[in-house]
Structure 1
Amino acid sequence: MENKHNTRGYSWVIGSIVLITLAQLLLKWGMVSIPLMSLSDINFVFLTHHYIQLCTVIFGLLGYALSMLCWLCALRYLPLNQAYPLISISYVLVYLLAVAWFNETATVTKTLGALFILLGVWIIYMKPKKPS
């Protein structure tokens, strides 16, 4: 029964990672596509001209909300010390996809940081060798 719970928990964590990654990318695209403005600039014309960008931001926010729901479900099945390190994988995914899709700067330092995050997750999940 516990293995089934773990599988469900990891499925919810993966859902949270995917949703938070997509949410970040949608929010980035939407916000860079909308011109700077003040509250007095928001009117019907503005909304109709930037409908797609605004919907993208709304979907990004919805992705955040759904990600949190997945996270809450994951915590029902997994201990926090197992689930929480996995969320950091989203940092790596956002970094890589921002470089690929938004032409953001990739540096050796940032890439090493992403690799250290993955190494940290791997170390946390390594099974210790049983003494013979």
Structure 2
Amino acid sequence: MSLRRGITFAMGSVLLGSAAQLGMRWSMTHLPSPDAWLSAPLDKLALAVVFAAILAYALSMLCWLAALRDLPLGRAYSLLSISYALVYLLAASLPFFNETFSLSKTLGVALVMLGVITINTRPVSAPELRSAS
């Protein structure tokens, strides 16, 4: 088992999934509502971003499947929570998303990250190694 390879693929899944979420959010604010799709012109860039985000989701799933080969499910699944923090931080930091930081959201994200750190800093036990292989 390659723990490092599993973590690398899990983080690839996190990054691709987060990019897909942000891309979908951006493109949905630049496309007309679904009931106006037939009558209103579609923004070609926003449509391209939708398709890129769908591709990113597909690649994210492939990374996730590769990560599951090398990581125990409990550890791998906890790493996906990093995407909550990443999406929140980027959406609130980048001006074109019009999202804001708040104390409660930031505290929630900090608690999620503390959980990820807690789960993933303990040594891998023998039963986890057997179940991942």
Interval containing the TM-score (normalised by the shorter chain): 0.7 to 0.9
Shift of 1:106: 1.3
Shift of 1:46: 2.2
Determine if the alignment matches structure 1 residue 28 to structure 2 residue 25.
yes
Letter in 2 for 1:46: P
| CA offset digits 1:85-121 (Å, max 9, x no partner) | 0110000000000001123021100000000001111
The equivalent of 1:17 in structure 2 is 14
The CA distance in 1 between the partners of 2:101 and 2:3, in whole Å, is: 35
Shift of 1:23: 0.4
The CA distance in 1 between the partners of 2:22 and 2:122, in whole Å, is: 34
The equivalent of 1:122 in structure 2 is 117
RMSD over aligned CA atoms reads 1.6
Determine if the alignment matches structure 1 residue 94 to structure 2 residue 87.
yes
Structure 1 residues without counterparts, runs of 5 or longer: none
The CA distance in 1 between the partners of 2:73 and 2:91, in whole Å, is: 28
Shift of 1:19: 0.2
The CA distance in 2 between the partners of 1:126 and 1:79, in whole Å, is: 14
Choose from 100, 116, 129 the match for 1:105. Answer: 100
Letter in 1 for 2:112: I
Structure 2 residues without counterparts, runs of 5 or longer: 124-133
3-state SS, counterpart of residue 33 of structure 1: coil
When normalised by structure 1's length, the TM-score is 0.84
